[in-house]
């Protein structure tokens, strides 16, 4: 009986320390000197300040993935894309934060770098986007969109789930 009690106490202590150490918090990651930060993507359309647009549903089935790193004063994103629309153009934006909602985030705007993905016959593509770290920037996130033919809302969109801090 004593062994069971000691085992239960040890398990409670271990689980308690796990529960205290984990939890819901802001989605923040930092690239380290040992390697890049993996970028999780989701089908969420975001404004320039990283807030979500309401009432825009997910569409299509592309699977972007990538890594972000700091390399000699530059933010670098290596992006791969699978199961996209074959032979299509996707626009990629690397957006540095903080950024007020009132500013645009078009490629070429301060703190915004752009690139293009062209998918092959299987819907796969890869690209690298790099930009100098903007003065006062504390992080960055990535947006991948396929322009809509008859709308200002993109036909297909993916954004990172987190802001990578640096």
Give just the sign of the alpha carbon dihedral 53, 58, 61, 67.
positive
24 within a domain of the structure (yes/no): no
147 within a domain of the structure (yes/no): yes
34 within a domain of the structure (yes/no): no
- Write down the pLDDT at residue 2: 53
* Cα–Cα dist 123/82, whole Å: 6
- Write down the pLDDT at residue 4: 53
Question: For the chain, what is the domain count?
Answer: 1
Task: Select from 82, 56, 69, 17 the least CA-distant residue to 152.
Answer: 56
- Write down the pLDDT at residue 25: 39
5 within a domain of the structure (yes/no): no
109 within a domain of the structure (yes/no): yes
Residue-wise pLDDT for 79-138, tens only, equals 999 999 999 999 999 999 999 878 899 999 999 999 999 999 999 999 999 999 999 999
* Cα–Cα dist 100/86, whole Å: 35
37 within a domain of the structure (yes/no): no
Residue range(s) defining the domain that contains residue 106: 57-165
Instruction: Give the domain CATH number at 149.
Output: 2.60.40.10
23 within a domain of the structure (yes/no): no
The total number of residues written for the chain in this structure: 166
40 within a domain of the structure (yes/no): no
Question: What is the rounded average pLDDT for all residues in the chain?
Answer: 85
């Amino acid at each position: 009986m004593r062994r069971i009690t000691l085992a239960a106490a040890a398990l409670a202590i271990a689980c308690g320390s796990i529960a205290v150490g984990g939890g819901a918090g802001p989605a923040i990651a930092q690239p380290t000197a040992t390697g890049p930060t993996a970028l999780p993507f989701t089908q969420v359309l975001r404004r320039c300040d990283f807030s979500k647009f309401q009432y825009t549903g997910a569409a299509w089935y592309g699977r972007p993935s990538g890594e972000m790193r700091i390399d000699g004063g530059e933010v670098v994103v290596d992006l791969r894309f699978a199961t996209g629309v074959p032979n299509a153009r996707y626009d990629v934006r690397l957006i540095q934060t903080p950024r007020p909602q009132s500013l645009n985030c078009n490629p070429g705007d301060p703190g915004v770098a752009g690139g293009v993905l062209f998918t092959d016959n299987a819907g796969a593509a890869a690209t690298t986007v790099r930009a100098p770290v903007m003065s006062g920037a504390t992080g960055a996130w990535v947006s991948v969109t396929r322009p809509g033919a008859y709308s200002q809302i993109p036909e297909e969109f993916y954004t990172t789930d987190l802001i990578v801090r640096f």
